[in-house]
Amino acid sequence: MSAALLGEILSLVMFAVTCVVLVMGFPVAFTLAGTSLVFACIGWWFGIFDFRLLGGLPSRYFGTMVNEVLVAVPLFVFMGVMLERARIAEQLLQTMGLLFARVRGGLAVSVTIVGALLAASTGIVGATVVTMGLLSLPTMLKAGYDPKLATGTICAAGTLGQMIPPSIALVILGDIIQGAHTQAQLALGNFAPQPVSVVDLFAGALLPGLMLVGLYITWQIILATVRPETAPPMQIEVGTRIWKEVATALLPPAMLIIAVLGSILGGIATPTESASVGAIGAMLLALMRRKLSLAVLKEVMQQTTKISCMVFVILLGASVFALVFRGLGGEEIVTDVLAAMPGGVFGAMFVVMALMFFLGFFLDFIEIVFVVVPIVGPILLMMGVDPIWLGVMIAMNLQTSFLTPPFGFALFYLRGVAPPEVTTMDIYRGIIPFVIIQLVGLALLATFPQMATWLPSVIFG
């Protein structure tokens, strides 16, 4: 067996072992780095891996530390956690629920709308699902909603924070796509490539994210019309003051969304600068609602530090994995496999999307982004795939990783706060239509790439 073939086999085995160890529940960062170093030693033993490649780690780590785009991650996390403590979601759910309560399927529609608003302001899936599960699920069940529709709606609406900007997931994915695009262009001989930024990905994801919201609501209205018993209207009186309550609940977060997202898309501020605006705005909203104190601020900062550290430690571990994978020759075999796929670029994209969807059953969004995208991204981009479209396709695909059993995190979050009469099977069966809807949305986005590329071209030329 030749050294090159042995190295390629080792790289694939390393990828498989890493996935298995992650599924077993070991810490992601240490799994990525530890498994990679073990296989690096095996490759060195067989004389097919050069340890001098790991000398590139310090420069990669330094590049991560000075990357201004990634500074937006802790700032957006701070904004989301602070808004959660300010009980923005609670007030939105109560007022929007009253506004649509007398309409058949109205509660499900209101949960979806609130999910979209929270996605554009907090972007934290766990907090959104738990909050809506605590507040909306008992109300929907009391109104006579089918538990499957109620749980599916809450889980799906809670995951919109991965797709609708400004999203932490889009910040991370945008940074990786930017690096993959630069690598692909240099490999093609273009030493002055057109840059692709997180701002481009924000603009590209906006319309597909709103399309998902529209598809969710369409399904809920159709189901409520065809099977009225699954989503009956509430028999309550809505006073004239409801519009004042809606305005009071809706205007402050809407202004914050406009300030953050508008400044990014308008070219007034970078994502990092607008994230700082969002963090300050979230503190002001909490102060207006008398929810801000030194104890709350300390709690928010601690939670922000925990989440941010998790993301960056995974990023550092993923750097080790990428170096060892390439050093063993894994990139060559992936390139050969994708290039040999029938259907050319379409066949390669289909295989990559199918692989990511399958991995989403077992791995988290961040794990897949850090492990898979740096490997397949440059290869697909060298085949002529638009980087913005590719990033939005990946984001929409991996949004399903929060919904698909057995390890869908949104399912676990809701299971933890759902009343005893709602079974785990109700939650699993409830998300099936919404996963299908997301696959339909993914197919529409694949068929009409302009949904992702039109808005960036209009805004940024």
CA 412 to chain centre: 17
Quick one: pLDDT at residue 59? Answer: 83
Query: What mean pLDDT is predicted for residues 435-443?
Result: 94
406: preceding bond cis by omega (within 30 degrees): yes
51 domain-assigned: no
Sign (positive or negative) of CA dihedral 170, 174, 180, 181:
positive
Quick one: pLDDT at residue 267? Answer: 81
Residue with tokens 């909603």, as numbered in its chain: 145
Does residue 73 have a pLDDT over 80? yes
Does residue 385 have a pLDDT over 80? yes
Question: Which amino acid, 27?
Answer: P
Query: What mean pLDDT is predicted for residues 290-319?
Result: 87
64 domain-assigned: no
CA 112 to chain centre: 17
Expressed in angstroms, the distance from the first to the final Cα of the chain is 52
Q: Give the contacts of 291 (CB within 8 A, at least 6 positions apart).
A: 85, 86, 87
32 domain-assigned: no
300 domain-assigned: yes
Sign (positive or negative) of CA dihedral 374, 365, 363, 348:
negative
| pLDDT band (50, 70, 90) for residue 389 | very high
Quick one: pLDDT at residue 61? Answer: 83
Domain extent at residue 437? 70-312+330-460
CA 391 to chain centre: 11
Tokens of 330: 């894994």
How far apart CA 373 and CA 28 sit, in angstroms, is 16
Question: Which amino acid, 144?
Answer: G
pLDDT tens across 75-113, in order? 888 888 888 787 777 777 777 777 777 788 888 998 898
pLDDT tens across 257-282, in order? 888 888 888 888 888 888 898 899 98
Q: Please classify residue 227 by burial: count the beta carbons closer than 10 Å to its beta carbon, then call 0-12 exposed, 13-18 middle and 19+ buried.
A: exposed
H and E: helices and strands count for the chain: 21, 0
Query: What mean pLDDT is predicted for residues 395-409?
Result: 83
257 domain-assigned: yes
Quick one: pLDDT at residue 329? Answer: 84
Query: What mean pLDDT is predicted for residues 372-388?
Result: 89
54 domain-assigned: no
| pLDDT band (50, 70, 90) for residue 123 | low
Which one, of 141, 129, 176, lies nearest residue 318 by Cα? 176
43 domain-assigned: no
How far apart CA 296 and CA 291 sit, in angstroms, is 8
166: preceding bond cis by omega (within 30 degrees): yes
Query: What mean pLDDT is predicted for residues 391-399?
Result: 92
Which one, of 156, 190, 224, 238, lies nearest residue 381 by Cα? 190
| pLDDT band (50, 70, 90) for residue 431 | very high
Percent of the chain with pLDDT over 70: 97
Which one, of 153, 158, 157, lies nearest residue 231 by Cα? 153
447 domain-assigned: yes
Highest-pLDDT range among 38-52, 134-148, 360-374, 441-455: 441-455
| pLDDT band (50, 70, 90) for residue 1 | low
Quick one: pLDDT at residue 221? Answer: 92
Percent of the chain with pLDDT over 90: 22
Does residue 437 have a pLDDT over 90? yes
> What's the structural domain count of the chain?
1
